[in-house]
Structure formats: C-alpha cells, structure tokens
Amino acid sequence: MEAQYPLQSPSPYPWKLTRGATVQPDGSVSFSVWAPQVSTLSVLLPDRAVPLQRTDESLYTGIVSDLAVGAPYSYLLDGSRARPDPVSRYQPHGVHGPSAVVDPAAFPWTDHHWRGLPLQDLVLYELHVGTFTAEGSFRAIIPYLDYLKEELGVTAIELMPIAAFPGARNWGYDGVHPYAPQSSYGGPAELQSLVDACHEKGLAVALDVVYNHLGPEGNYLREYGPYFTSRYHTTWGDALNFDGEQSHQVRRYVIDNALYWITEYHIDILRLDAIHSIFDNSPTHLLQELTAAVHAQSHALGRTVLVIAESDLNDNRVITPSEQGGWGLDAQWSDDFHHALHVLMTGERTGYYQDFGRPSDLVTALTEGFVYQGQYAPYRGRPHGTPSRQLPSERFVVCSQNHDQIGNRANGERLSALVPSSALKLVAGLLLCAPTLPLLFMGEEYGERAPFQYFTSHTDPALAQAVSEGRRREFSHAVGNQAVPDPQAEETFLRSKLQHSLREHAPHGALLRFYHDVLALRKHVPALRAGGKEYMKVQTWADSRVLLIHRAHPQGEAIVVLASIAATPLVATVTFPTGQWQKVMDADEAWYGGTGSGLLPAVLKETVSHRLVLAPFQWALYVAS
C-alpha cells in the first residue's frame, strides 16, 4: 500500500486538519466526512439540514456560510440517523450528543519561544486529569506546575487519555471521539491553556493516545465506514482496519489525529497505548508511517515532537531506525524494569510476575533494557522478546509504578501500601539513577495513600452492569470475601483522588525531599542523565543482594550508587572502582525519614575492599572526588 505521508523528506508546509468542521478565513465552515457506508449525508443544524455532496472517494463535503463558532451540529445519515462527527473537535453534551464547531486559531498562544525537549532530558510525570485535583479539570492542574517543576523536578507531564468518553469518570481508554477533549475536564480551550502554561514553565506535555481500539459506548464509526475488521481480535473486540479494503482512510484517520494533537494543541510527546494490539501487515507499518508523519510535521513546526510506544512485546523493531529496518519510534516503555523491581520489593509472584524474581533480572534491566530477549518465559509458555543490548538506553521508558500496575490490581493499591518507606526510597533511587527515561505516577513522590482504582461512568445500563460484573469475576480469586470496588460507583472514583496535603506532613515530606534531591543531582551531574549505557557497570555482592552501579561520563565526574535489596540489615564486603568517593546522598539520613544511623562512611577509597553495614533497603550515592 502506498504511504499517505512522507517517509523521508518533510512537507514544506505544516499539515492542517481538513476533515470534520473547519472554520475558514472568511468565517464560513467547511465540512468533510468519509462515509462509504451511507447513501446520503447532511449537516443537521438546529434550524435546518444542509445536504453534503458525495465525491468519488466517498467523501461528503460542503460549506455553510452562516454558522457561528460553538454552534452544535450532527450528521444526518441516510435521512434517518443523527450522529456526531467522527472528527468532532468537541462534544460538549457527551459522546451521544451533537458536535460543536471549534476554531483552533482562536486561542491566544504565548508559547512561541517553546521548542520542546530532547529525548534525553525527559523525566515524565503521568497523571489522570480527573483525580489529580479535587476539581478534576485541565485548568485545575495549572496551579501545581510550579510544584512539579521546582519542588519535584520533573520535565514533562503525561496526561492519561483525554478523548471524549461516556459520562464524567473514566481512565480514558474508553474514548470514542479521538479528536474531542473530554468535556468534563474543561474541553478544548482549557486543554490549550494547560499546554500553554506548561510551556511557560519549561515543562513538556505528553498525551496518551489510543489507536488500538475505541470504547464500546458512543462508538458510531461503523455506521460511517469499514473502520474495524474481524480478521484480528483484540481484548476489546474487532481490531481497527489498518491493512484491509479502504484501510487507507482509516490510517489517515489515525495519522491525522496524531498530527492534530501536536499542531492544534502544541503537544510535545505522543504516548501510543498498547501497540501490541495494533495489527497491520502492510508493507509500511502504520506506526512507521505515523512516526514519519509526526517527525515531518515537527520539522515544519520548528519543534521537537517525540513518539513513544507502550508495548509488551519486547520488540526492538519499534525503536530501531527506519533506515535499519525498524519503525523509527523515539522510545518505548519497558515493563521488565518494573516487574523485576516489584517482585524483589514485594515478593509477589502471581501472573506475569512469575517470570521475574532474580536479582540478575534487575541488573539486566538496568544495563540492557529488556530482561526477556528471546529466552523462555514461564508465564507466557514460550520464548519472549528480542535483543536490546545494542539499543541506546534513553530509548526505554521505565517506572516503578504507573496507572496499569496500580489500577489493574483488585483494589488499586499503590506501592506505598505494599512496602516500607525505606523500600520506596530505594525504588526511587534505582529508577532515577538508571540510564533510562524515568516515569513517575502522580503522588508516588510523596507516598500517596489513596489507591488508584478502575472507574467508569457508562450511561448504558446493560454495559454498566457488564463492566461491574466483569471486574468482580476477574478478581474473585484474588480478594476472597472482600468486595471488589465497583467501577461504576462514584465512590471508587472519589477514593482515587490525590491528597496533596499529605506532602506537608511526615513521612511524606521526607520522601518528597528524597525525590527532589535525586532529580536535582540527575539534572546537574552528567553521569546521572539518560544514556551512557556504554559507560555503566553493575556489580553485585552478598548473594546479589547488594548492587554497586558505576556510571561515568566523558565530560563529568563518575558516580556510584550503592543499594541493598534486602529487607533486613546485612554486612557486605564491597570493592569500589578506582578513585576516591564522596558520599552526597544517603537514604537512611534523618532528613529523608531514615534512622540517621550514619552506617555508611562519608568517604570511600579506591580499590579497597570495604566491610560495610547496610540498613534495610539501603541506598546511597557517591561521587568521584
């Protein structure tokens, strides 16, 4: 199939969205919708219906000259069915209601100086708009940007999906209007205000976009055209049609969406959800085509825009450059780091955790990226993964917590409910000192106590009941006689809201100080930044319970991280690399909520075997002096 967007040379002019309702310079509104499944199609306005003309490509187009910005409209299919626009920029009355005309040029952007961030500088902070603040809106996030930038030290916020979904409460993966920011979050103008404010503070904005499925309620795409195919099956049913008949229009729908977010909303990073459920046997894979189009538009806009994938395939093709036979995405999530660390901290071995549990897994995740690179995985019952040793470490996004790993537990417990505070600091220290790109989940930096549970607000009674019953069945074996939180209950949503005031009190403030100080070192010490896998070495002692992570940099001093993954005190004889080492951080200090015992020496000398007493989950950082 011929690619619809340039794979090599960028377009000389920035792309613009031409589907849906587009406000023209003269104030008129043009309409364009692909609808091969219908015979006639009109724009349905409050006072009249305006027929659209069909072209040979099954596009229905037309212009309405006297339509104001904000006006409601629907499409009347075959004279009998009123449906929202598949490319609706806004659904002010929910996923079933009429669309609204939006003029993206009306927002007064002030971020003209902003050029984005390079991949290596990313420290991502994943948040859910509805539960990050009491108000649950885009605008309500803005007062917290100084905190995120200065008091914590992240460089980018990552919004969980915001495409319009049923009701007012949802994780966002049930979105059915990929172009319409959720109305209960504040809609288009509030999202633009948030992005503009982030750029003013020097924060990049990542957006989680879902191109592997649409939600079940309010999904009217089938009535317009062959957007789905039964040739492939996903967790959510039929897959999107990216390689069958008329798939070029479906591919355009998705690629247009990616370009829309980075152009009309100035989004800096697209995080593609679960690409292992995107099926495409075309000569040029959808993800390669999409990434090339994003990079071309990025060049035309004069900004750095990045594409990051979530995938559980451990497939190095995702981030291998296209000229080397890969898809050319900028980075991808690597769940192996989380799994390896989580099992060592909690001892949990159910589900996919049974593939992990060896300290060597953590060492491999730190030094190579994937743990599973083609070897047999017991949980999967087959070999899994591809080699990652050759790939730059900054192309892997890793975490110790995220929405999936917390929210897909029966009761949504965070790591703070599973391990002691000393382990939380160890986990943070390993995450933030790894050569990979770190991702934090909202609230982890101060040990948030509220769970993050699975919640929905479907308005279809049958679907709502099915979701609630399905959740109970899924976890009936895990909770025994305990009740599984009902996704449809408002209490489940409210229970998941952050308690920001916690960080002002012990022990939460101490944990926040620890995160801040490690991130400050990461910013100012070159050896701690993303990348530099070739200048890194990890050694283990005491039956692999003690790790010594040595990282160097050609233009800066080397660092050593000393870490114990043991839950009890232990004694280990450790040999430091050549050089004299000055301790600059110790998680056991009272300042960070530790015992203040001072067990570790302030200075350690080169090539001398040191008999060290380590506190439970000890973590300390030394710099060459």
The CATH superfamily assigned to 1-310 is: Glycosidases (3.20.20.80)
Residues 6+ apart with CB under 8 A from 466: none
Question: What pLDDT score does 235 carry?
Answer: 87
**Using CA atoms, how far apart are residues 442 and 55, in angstroms rounded to an integer?**
48
Q: How far is the first Cα of the chain from the last one, in angstroms, to the nearest whole number?
A: 59
State the pLDDT confidence band at 189, using cuts at 50, 70 and 90: very high
Indicate whether 3 pLDDT > 80.
no
Residues 127, 131, 136, 139: what is their CA dihedral angle, to the nearest 10 degrees? -20
Q: What are phi and psi of 543, to 5 degrees?
A: 55, 40
Question: 26-54 pLDDT, tens per residue?
Answer: 999 999 999 999 999 999 999 999 999 99
Instruction: Please compute the mean of the pLDDT values over residues 175-200 and round it to a whole number.
Output: 98
Would you say 165 and 175 are in contact if contact means Cβ atoms under 8 Å apart?
yes
How does residue 14 score in pLDDT terms, banded at 50, 70 and 90? confident
Write out pLDDT tens, residues 352-395: 999 999 999 999 999 999 999 999 999 999 999 999 999 999 99
From 129, 137, 139, 227, select the one nearest 170 (Cα to Cα): 129
- pLDDT band at 609; cut points 50, 70, 90: confident
- pLDDT of 6 strictly over 80: no
pLDDT of the residue at 537: 96
Position 478 scores a pLDDT of 65
Residue 554's Cβ-count burial label (10 Å; 0-12, 13-18, 19+) is: exposed
| Residue 12: pLDDT band with limits 50, 70, 90 | very low
* pLDDT at 560 exceeding the cut of 90: yes
Question: How far apart are alpha carbons 405 and 335 in whole angstroms?
Answer: 9
Decide if 1-310 and 535-624 have a common fold: no
The answer to whether the CB of 370 falls within 8 A of the CB of 386 is: yes
Residue 560, phi then psi, degrees to nearest 5:
-130, 130
What angle do helix axes 286-301 and 247-264 make, rounded to 10 degrees?
30
Structural element, H or E, at residue 624? strand 619-624
Q: Quick check: is 310 catalytic?
A: yes
For 488-508, give the DSSP string.
TSHHHHHHTS--GGGGGSTTH
The predicted structure's pLDDT at residue 13: 52
Alpha-carbon gap, residue 77 to 38, rounded angstroms: 6
DSSP E strands, 214-276: 228-234, 237-240, 269-272
User: What are the φ/ψ torsions at residue 527 (nearest 5 degrees)?
Assistant: -70, -15
pLDDT score of 333: 97
Tell me what pLDDT residue 477 has.
Answer: 74
| Amino acid of residue 2 | E
- Each residue's pLDDT tens digit, 50-69: 999 999 999 999 999 999 99
Closest CA to 41 of 235, 220, 194, 291: 220
Mean pLDDT confidence for 592-611: 89
Distance of alpha carbon 206 from alpha carbon 267, whole angstroms: 6
pLDDT grade, residue 625 (50/70/90)? confident
Determine whether 57 is an active site residue.
no
Let me know if domain 535-624 sits in CATH 1.20.1630.10.
no
**Residue 547: predicted pLDDT:** 97
**Rounded Cα gap, residues 137 and 122, in angstroms:** 24
H or E segment to which residue 260 belongs? helix 247-264
Instruction: Tell me the pLDDT of the chain averaged across its residues.
Output: 95
Count CA within 13 A, CB hemisphere, residue 22: 16
Average pLDDT over every residue of 96-104:
98
Q: Is the pLDDT confidence value at 603 over 70?
A: yes
Tell which residue, 148, 180, 150, 184, has the closest CA to residue 168.
Answer: 184
Decide: 530 and 436 in contact? Cβ < 8 Å.
Answer: yes
pLDDT of residue 8: 40
pLDDT of residue 481: 53
Q: DSSP secondary-structure letter at 150?
A: I
Q: Could you say which of 190, 208, 273, 588 is catalytic? A: 273
Q: What is the residue-wise DSSP string for 129-163? A: HHHHSSS-SHHHHGGGHHIIIIII--SEEEEPP-E
Domain spans of the chain? 1-310, 535-624
At 392-414, the pLDDT tens digits run 999 999 999 999 999 999 999 99
Note the pLDDT of residue 9: 39
Q: Which helix (H) or strand (E) holds 258?
A: helix 247-264
- Choice among 310, 336, 361, 404 that is catalytic: 310
pLDDT band at 483 (very low <50, low <70, confident <90, very high): confident
Which residues, listed in sequence order, are joined to residue 60 by a DSSP beta bridge? 33, 54
Per-residue pLDDT at 480 exceeds 70: no
